[in-house]
A and B are shown apart, each in its own frame.
Chain A
Amino acid sequence: MAGQLIREWTAIQQFPAATQEKLVDLLGKLKNENVNTLTILVMGKGGVGKSSTVNSIIGERVVTVSAFQSETPRPVMVSRSRSGFTLNIIDTPGLVEGGYVSDQVLETIKSSLGRFLLNKTIDVLLYVDRLDAYRVDNMDKQVVKAITDSFGKKIWHKAVVVLTHAQLSPPDALSYEEFFSKRSESLLKCVRQGARISKKDLQNFAIPVALVENSGRCNKNEHDEKILPSGTPWIPNLVHTITDVALNGKEGILVDQKLIEGPNANERGKLYIPLILAVQYFFVIKPIQKWIKDDIARETKPSWD
């Protein structure tokens, strides 16, 4: 897969003209900043619409999706290039399996990353969840924690929280905006907790939130662009946010051996082994030998001895 041929991003032409224009504009902006490659990692729980979002961004059905089951058994990288600019999007399987954050999945993601882009960087992380979920629970925190543990806290510099199923009617007595802000705020709070971002660091980790509606029944505006209930066309908006994050001046996440294999505990402290051995000999074995000698000296001899 690493040697996968990078295809021309033809599907871009299928976007409505207005969207195309904005996208080209954003790509140009990236090229101006000397960014020729943009690598996006998409992660989140299962069934939140990661794959659909990928398909929406690329504009073609590159990853199979189905309504009722997880169709992504292993990470998939989709690469498209257009006039010297390469866009890589890595779609991953859902991190939650059987009610637990699956380490196994994380391991597969990491090892795939190693295959896809060893010694390259991840520019943007899309953390995907649904807008129409009302509650944030411990599981979300676990997912965030797992991501943090694997990629380090600094990946949240490069993160965008993506809320899918954006076209919804909020519950009674709440306006759409209110609902959105409440939902995104609670999710961000959870992300901050899971990533252990303290209040002080808050400024440092301004995680933008983007809305997505992948459904074909999504409302469209006069330019035939898919729009959010607020009227904003969401694809250009999302790409815009992505570009902003990509250009926010923070380092991307370098995918190296260490990241893939995690910290190798087997190597840790190996250098000190001779020292440890010496300490053990002089401060454990020797004292115990002395104790034994003392025991022998103190031993109550039978009266006849």
Chain B
Amino acid sequence: MSSFAAPAHLLPLSTRRRNSSTNAVVSHISSSTSIIQCNLPSLAATSSSQNPKPSKSSPFLLNSIISPKSLAVSAASCILFHIAQPILSGSDSILNYSGGGGSSGSGGGGGGGNGGGEGGGFWRFFSPEAVAKDDDPQQEWDSHGLPANIVVQLNKLSGFKKYKVSEIMFFDRRRGSTVGTEDSFFEMVSLRPGGIYTKAQLQKELETLATCGMFEKVELETKTNPDGTINITIPFLESTWQSADRFRCINVGLMPQSKPIEMDPDMTEKERLEYYRSQEKDYRRRIERARPCLLPMSVQREILQMLREQGKVSARLLQRIRDRVQQWYQENGYACAQVVNFGNLNTKEVVCEVVEGDITQLLIQFQDKLGNVCEGNTQFPVIRRELPKQLRQGQVFNIEAGKQALRNINSLALFSNIEVNPRPDEKNEGGIIVEVKLKELEQKSAEVSSEWSIVPGRGGRPTLASIQPGGTVSFEHRNIKGLNRSLLGSVTTSNFLNPQDDLAFKLEYVHPYVDGVYNPRNRTFRASCFNSRKLSPVFTGGPGIEEVPPIWVDRAGVKANITENFTRQSKFTYGLVMEEITTRDESSHISANGQRVLPSGGVSADGPPTTLSGTGVDRMAFLQANITRDNTKFLNGAIVGERNVFQLDQGLGIGSKFPFFNRHQLTVTRFLQLKNVEEGAGKPPPPVLVLHGHYGGCVGDLPSYDAFTLGGPYSVRGYNMGELGAARNILELAAELRIPVRNTHAYVFAEHGNDLGSSKDVKGNPTEVYRRMGHGSSYGVGVKLGLVRAEYAVDQNSGTGAIFFRFGERF
């Protein structure tokens, strides 16, 4: 049973960033994907077949304690359950383990409470695995060779035979009845009906039961069956203590475990009393010194209720209490918490001692490719600021905090592999060392991806000249100075032989922690050089005219801004943009005016002006600010919450024709949950009503490329991009009702977009020139299929509907 070895690696939370090479066409595109793995092997491993309780093993080495109380009160048994933990002693550990003698009577015995020095702190009522391993069904078994239906004492059995057990029964002597198979006692024996055991194994089993502390007295009787098998009956007398009406839970983690002092058997009565008294005092001091535990009052009250109902405190009750307490810890992510002891029994109070898993050290390690510890480039504060407070020294380890740390560190995108492991602190019993193991990504990387496009040449047949090599060259220098600063650049073209045709470039420098890496304020400075080419939706025809010669808007410039992240989703960005805007026609010639198709079929180049300067090339500098407030969250897969975005472009009067303007947009989106639903995996998401409003306006100089366009999948669905118009001020309103269907949702929507009569305030009135309405509504239904939205939308200007497939979300 190797399962016991597992706890050394208690919770390897790890994430791996893989470079997966996908070969598209002839190109090599490498992308980073990260997989977060988080498993709890220790728990999984220990909950082996015979042992359904996941919490039975613990990584801690705790010495067991002898409660002074147990000895002080004469007859009573040991007050402390003491728990040995065979973990580290391997599968045969059961032999080294000795329980705090729960035995009755003699009082003094003191149960030798040292749960085997190496045994560890947890109630170990049984150790099924050890024995169970011999439980090989293939094995032949021997008939008992005795007359049927006679009761045989255990020591009368033959030591050489392998007996097959056909039935096991627990017999409660106090109640005079047998115990049902669902009783917790059955968990405590590793024997199973149908198993084959030797005498030694059965003796071992009995020994385990006798020492586990649950019983005052326990025996093992066998009865022969006619078919050669045996039935086992275990008559027992359960340990009980005085009834209690108080419950206390304390955190004994990191406390030095009191070593039992060997009692001199020659002590006088007085000395003995003295000894007990001092033990009692010690224990009281121990309780006082212990820190209060995290267990909430509600659970404590629940347990108190259990105590009151029960009357006498029995071993089984304690077991239930332990299970309840541990269940709470497990449910709340305190994966290292264990109940190690019950003390103060036979008084009015039950003291539950818990080792919660206090973090004694936080270790950040870097690993090289081979997994050896090495010196990292990343500075520690960069990592430390990503770790939740709950993972710092002195806190109780929580698996959720571990996962959070993993996610946070992963979002730095600096590491190829991240592991967050809690491991027991050998030097500090009950303590946890949280190890953060990181494999850094290469600091510098460069990539070339290429693709060949074959353009049909003359006569539709590709020629040698029509094969165009295209692709992207990019480089990245990340984590400069170990402070996550990065410099990245890329150049993309569809034809390396003629790159002047369409060369897209981007050079970006990112400088996080502007306010210092220790400052909790999270501001990032970014500077970039960019260019982009987009088809202008301003020069688009209305429903009547199909062919409006397109206008391309090329932007090239530099941008510098600071982003302050308030939360993961809410942020404030402000900066300066300087750009040159060039408008071109289809054949890449600079065009100062849009073209329009004359009724005669000819094209006239005297449409609305494309730029402010009227030359086809504008230069301008403006301030840009964007504040996003987003408190949306996923509720069983459905988005609820609200999102507000305000964006502002403030012209500075610097540039061609001294552009001075104030262009602003406000977007308000509400995701209203229409039904209260229970949160949890697999639970159905609530129906959601989405209300959305978008206002855009501009005061001052407004070149046509900055006009607000109406229509399109992110404006008014059911229309093409810009099909409704281009205006100075716009208002869009939308409502969508999402109804969960199976794993996805279906929705109905209605949208309206309006130019507020401001189309004429755009120079050249492109809305009217291209015969657009300036406003329009649509409604429709749709269904979300994975990433794709399939929807049927009816546009009300023409009254016709169409089916659309779109990627991504509208809101």
Which of A's residues lie within 8 Å of B, judged by CB? Answer: 97-98, 100, 103-104, 265-266, 268-270, 272-273, 276-277, 280, 284-285, 288-289, 291-293, 295-296, 299, 302-305
Contacts and interface: CB of A to CB of B under 8 A. Distances in A.
B389, B401, B612, B629, most chain A CB atoms within 10 A: B629
B702 A304 contact: no
Contacts of A100: 771
Nearest to A290: B629
Interface string B588-619: 00000000101100001010000010000000
A276 B662 contact: yes
22 contacts: A103-B769, A104-B596, A104-B604, A265-B758, A266-B701, A268-B761, A270-B699, A272-B699, A273-B660, A273-B662, A277-B662, A285-B572, A285-B625, A285-B646, A285-B648, A288-B627, A289-B572, A292-B567, A292-B629, A304-B398, A304-B401, A305-B388
B145 interface: no
A208 to B, nearest CB: 31
Nearest to A298: B631
A275 to B, nearest CB: 10
A299 B630 CA distance: 12
A305 B567 contact: no
B327 to A, nearest CB: 14
B627 to A, nearest CB: 5
A289 B646 CA distance: 11
A266 B650 contact: no
Contacts of A285: 572, 625, 627, 646, 648
Contacts of B334: 304
A103 B606 CA distance: 11
Contacts of A98: 598-599
A304 to B, nearest CB: 4
A266 B763 contact: yes
Nearest to B599: A98
Contact of A265 (B599, B606, B762, B771): B762
Interface of B: 332-334, 388-390, 398, 400-401, 404, 566-567, 570, 572, 596, 598-599, 604, 606, 612, 625, 627, 629, 631, 644, 646, 648, 650, 660-662, 664, 666, 699-702, 728, 758, 760-763, 765, 768-769, 771
Contact of A296 (B567, B664, B701): B567
A98 B762 CA distance: 23
Nearest to B699: A269
A97 B699 contact: no
Nearest to A303: B332
B627 A103 contact: no
B566 A288 contact: no
Contacts, number: 92
A243 to B, nearest CB: 36
A291 B627 CA distance: 11
Nearest to B388: A305
Given A273-B661, A305-B389, A265 B763 contact: yes
B660 A265 contact: no
Nearest to A293: B566
Contacts of A295: 567, 570, 629, 631
A16 B701 CA distance: 57
Contact of B629 (A266, A272, A277, A288): A288
Contacts of A97: 598-599
Given A265-B760, A285-B625, 7 more contacts: A100-B771, A266-B702, A270-B701, A273-B700, A277-B650, A299-B567, A305-B401
A291 B599 contact: no
B768 A104 contact: no
A302 B332 CA distance: 9
A277 B661 CA distance: 10
B400 A266 contact: no
A302 B765 contact: no
Contacts of A272: 699
The 9 lowest CB-CB distance pairs between A and B, nearest first, are: A98-B599, A265-B761, A304-B398, A269-B699, A295-B631, A292-B570, A273-B662, A266-B701, A292-B629
A273 B660 CA distance: 8
Contacts of A302: 400, 404
B15 to A, nearest CB: 19
Contacts of A296: 566-567
Contacts of B566: 292-293, 296
Contact of B390 (A273, A291, A305): A305
Given A273-B660, A277-B662, A288 B646 contact: yes
A305 B388 CA distance: 8
B632 to A, nearest CB: 10
Given A284-B666, A291-B629, A304-B401, A269 B572 contact: no
B518 to A, nearest CB: 20
A269 to B, nearest CB: 4
Nearest to B697: A276
A289 B700 contact: no
A182 B370 CA distance: 100
Given A265-B761, A291-B644, A304-B398, A270 B389 contact: no
B332 A304 contact: yes
B599 A103 contact: no
A276 B697 CA distance: 12
A305 B758 CA distance: 52
A265 B662 contact: no
A304 B356 CA distance: 13
A57 to B, nearest CB: 30
Contacts of B599: 97-98
B14 to A, nearest CB: 20
Contacts of B570: 292, 295
B728 A265 contact: yes
A103 B648 contact: no
Given A269-B700, A276-B699, A292-B570, A304 B333 contact: yes
Contact of B702 (A104, A265, A291): A265
A74 B572 CA distance: 53
A103 B699 contact: no
A280 B596 contact: no
Contact of B648 (A280, A291, A293, A303): A280
A280 B700 contact: no
A168 B611 CA distance: 52
A263 B660 CA distance: 18
A293 B567 CA distance: 9
Contacts of A266: 612, 700-702, 763
A303 B700 CA distance: 52
A280 B650 CA distance: 11
Contacts of B644: 288, 291
A299 to B, nearest CB: 7
A268 B596 contact: no
Contacts of B648: 277, 280, 285
A86 B401 CA distance: 92
Contacts of A288: 627, 629, 644, 646
A209 to B, nearest CB: 31
Contacts of A299: 567, 631
A299 B701 CA distance: 42
Contacts of B728: 265
A265 B567 CA distance: 40
A292 B728 CA distance: 30
A289 B627 contact: yes
B609 to A, nearest CB: 11
Given A265-B762, A291-B629, A292-B566, A273 B401 contact: no
Contacts of A280: 646, 648, 662, 664
B705 to A, nearest CB: 14
Of A97, A265, A269, A302, which is in contact with the most chain B CB atoms at under 10 Å from its CB? A265
A285 B573 CA distance: 11
Contacts of B664: 276, 280
B646 A104 contact: no
Contacts of A276: 662, 664, 699
A172 to B, nearest CB: 36
Contacts of B650: 273, 277
A244 B168 CA distance: 126
